[in-house]
Amino acid sequence: MARLLSFPNPVNEKAARTVAAGVVALAVATLSSRQLLLTVPLAYGFVARAASGPRFSPLGQLATRVIAPRLGAPKPVPGPPKRFAQLMGAAFTLAALCCFLAGERTAAFVLVATLLAPALLESALGYCIGCELFGLGMRLGIVPASVCEECLDLSKRRHLAGA
């Protein structure tokens, strides 16, 4: 079971950015169509990716198996911060789904709209807000160093990234 719910480390940043682009597309579709039922696949995707990386996520599979390989050589980055980012997305989309089911449509739309900025920054610029918050948690001692040794050592991070 632990292997089934394991998260990849490292993660291909090109695949992560592709997933983020898919999140942007689905969030924009949700907001523009005013169809909050689209929060169901959005929330499922975040939960599935947080639990096991791309393994059970259709968007994760498309990104890792089809799109990212066509974007050139993989660009490995540490996995734990990416998992934290997926957990943050899961929290927002599950909250949006709960608001929708409770009849609080405006709150649900606000939560979905809130996802747009981080997903757009990740997909377009490779800037991961969840990863930055994870790093802050490490610097503050909230996240133990043992969770991501390469996150603390910038030389390892550069090596992973191929720089």
19 within 8 A of 59, measured Cβ to Cβ: yes
At residue 160 the predicted structure's pLDDT band, cuts being 50, 70 and 90, is very low
Whether the pLDDT of residue 153 is over 70: the answer is no
> Could you identify the residue written with the tokens 């039922």?
37
pLDDT, tens digit (0-9, with 9 covering 90-100), for 85-96: 999 999 999 999
Q: For strand 11-12 and strand 76-77, is the pairing parallel, antiparallel, or unpaired? A: antiparallel
CA dihedral 18, 9, 112, 138 (to 10 degrees): -130
pLDDT, tens digit (0-9, with 9 covering 90-100), for 16-60: 999 999 999 999 999 999 999 999 999 999 999 999 999 999 999
Whether the pLDDT of residue 103 is over 80: the answer is yes
* Measured CA angle at 57 (ends 54, 62), to 5 deg: 75
The residue that leads in pLDDT, 42 or 5, is: 42
Read off the pLDDT of each residue in 118-132 and give the average, rounded to a whole number: 96
Cα gap 139→132, rounded to integer Å: 11
Least confident range from 4-13, 104-113, 120-129: namely 4-13
Question: Exposed, middle or buried by CB within 10 Å (0-12, 13-18, 19+), for 50?
Answer: buried
Question: Phi, psi (5° rounding) for residue 11?
Answer: -115, 145
Whether the pLDDT of residue 162 is over 60: the answer is no
Read off the pLDDT of each residue in 69-89 and give the average, rounded to a whole number: 96
